[in-house]
Amino acid sequence: MSGEPLSLTLLGLVLLAIVLDLLIGDPPVLPHPVVGMGRLIEALERAWNRGSPRARRLKGFLLVACVVPLVYGLVRGALELLARLHPWLEGLAELWLLASALAIKGLRDAALAVARPLARGDLETARQAVAMIVGRDTHGLDEAEVTRATVETVAENTVDGITAPLFWALLGGAPLALTYKAVNTLDSMVGHRNARHADFGYASARLDDLANWLPARLTALTMWLLAPSVQHGRIDWRRWRRAPAGTLRDAPSHPSPNAGWPESMTAWLLGVQLGGLNHYGGEPSRRATLGVADAPLCGEHISRAIALMHAGWVGFVLLMAWAVWLRGGMT
């Protein structure tokens, strides 16, 4: 099954994986593949991240060259072995692996864990909840800044946690979906612009940029296309018409070549301004602003960002299903 990209069978399996993720998310009783990836990366980072800047950069490329093919080979080999035992075993295993690559329920629940205390005026609990999903300092943030951090995280992780895994899954089943998760995990663990990882994580960060390049831009498009269907009468058609041009203008100013696309589109569709001043370990970091504020940020914008997240991945699946139909029609 995993060897037929953009096939109707694979599309059906991916849809089942989406349903499974929406229903149960990541059950704590089952081992998660990303945990294993993380432990491997952590061990190799401790062993290899030393020496001169040039040596660190070369060993960072070696890290990528070891981890990425290893994950692909292990997943593909395991599925082929299970297929020889029984096709149903392969199908069930691939379904579980595909669902483990998605984070629709997890991202929604994490955002709601911030929105709910904000709605009842419990700012301190909201700060604690947002600290679980962002790297910036959260103590002392007011409601608007807590909301901004959450909305930015939801927008960015719509790609990292949902549409990019879907994109690679539909191109190559669980082997490519889990390989993408390995690339994304490498970036999240070592792809930082700090003294320890600037050289060692260079290859990981650049590969993650490449893997997300097309999914990020397609996600911004599908968010825009389906935004009217999730705004429930609150759509501002003038803002909606301006959103593509605004996103094209603002997205390149983001430090990430990819995160700016879903974040800019979200900002324009919600009529808020994202970006600005963050603090990391007490150190200020100013980012370009995205969008134009029609209204100040408040907790309600989190639920609206979640709706746009759903619009993004649903539109993405529809787009990929259309590609499957075209491929079938041409063969």
CB 218 within 8 A of CB 316: yes
Any domain includes 148: yes
CA distance 188 to 186: 6
Is residue 233 over pLDDT 90? no
How does residue 130 score in pLDDT terms, banded at 50, 70 and 90? very high
How does residue 330 score in pLDDT terms, banded at 50, 70 and 90? very low
For residue 6, the model assigns a pLDDT of 62
CB 173 within 8 A of CB 7: no
The dihedrals phi and psi of 27, each to the nearest 5 degrees, come to -65, 130
What is the mean predicted confidence (pLDDT) over 57-84?
A: 97
Residue 151 tokens read as 């909305």
What is the mean predicted confidence (pLDDT) over 25-41?
A: 87
How does residue 331 score in pLDDT terms, banded at 50, 70 and 90? very low
Nearest of 287, 314, 319 to residue 158 by alpha carbon: 314
CA distance 266 to 273: 9
CB 217 within 8 A of CB 223: no
CA distance 18 to 147: 27
Q: What is the mean pLDDT of the chain?
A: 92
Any domain includes 113: yes
CA distance 259 to 324: 27
Any domain includes 106: yes
Any domain includes 126: yes
Nearest of 11, 305, 26, 300 to residue 173 by alpha carbon: 11
| H/E run at residue 319 | helix 300-330
Any domain includes 2: no
CB 191 within 8 A of CB 177: no
- Looking from the CA of 188 toward its CB, the CA atoms found within 13 Å total 18
Task: Identify residue 300 by its one-letter amino acid code.
Answer: E
For residue 135, the model assigns a pLDDT of 87
Any domain includes 1: no
CB 44 within 8 A of CB 182: no
CA distance 195 to 271: 37
Residue 308 tokens read as 């746009």
Any domain includes 178: yes
CA distance 220 to 291: 14
Nearest of 103, 79, 108 to residue 91 by alpha carbon: 79
Any domain includes 3: no
CA distance 171 to 182: 16
Is residue 224 over pLDDT 60? yes
Residue with tokens 């390149």: 252
How does residue 161 score in pLDDT terms, banded at 50, 70 and 90? very high
Per-residue model confidence as pLDDT tens digits over 166-222: 999 999 999 999 999 999 999 999 998 888 999 999 999 999 999 999 999 999 999
Nearest of 274, 289, 285 to residue 192 by alpha carbon: 285
CA distance 33 to 182: 9
| Domain interval for residue 188 | 8-330
Number of structural domains the chain divides into: 1
The dihedrals phi and psi of 51, each to the nearest 5 degrees, come to 100, -165
For residue 322, the model assigns a pLDDT of 87
Task: Identify residue 310 by its one-letter amino acid code.
Answer: H
For residues 317, 22, 223, 296, the Cα torsion angle rounded to the nearest 10 degrees is 180
Q: Terminus-to-terminus CA distance in the chain, angstroms?
A: 18
